[in-house]
Structure 1
């Protein structure tokens, strides 16, 4: 499984780390998890036909 991130998300991650922004980190992780779940569901649907 591969998660592709945008340049903006990469910069956002760096800023979160520098600022030690726990709330921002959690929000970004939730977004990543949502996209991973969407990819997983899409792959499952295409596999089932």
Structure 2
């Protein structure tokens, strides 16, 4: 069944835009966690070296 008004295509575009925004938000969240974990690991390594170099 075809949609002569094009409402279906517009709805699909809106769904795609929403999904894209959701994926972007998820990617940013994962990146923030990864950066935080890297900073904590880096600080722990720096502290370990600082304590064992005296």
* TM-score with structure 2 setting the length: 0.54
Deviations 1:8-37 (A, max 9, x none): xxxxxxxxxxx7500000000000000000
| Counterpart-to-counterpart distance in 2, 1:42 and 1:28 | 21
Picking from 18, 36, 44, the partner of 1:42 is: 36
Question: Gapped runs of 5+ residues in structure 1?
Answer: 1-18
- Higher alpha-carbon Rg: 2
What is the Cα-based RMSD across aligned positions, in Å? 1.3
> How far off is 1:46 after superposition?
0.1
Q: Structure 1: which 4+ aligned runs deviate by more than 6 Å? A: none
Question: Gapped runs of 5+ residues in structure 2?
Answer: 1-10, 44-54
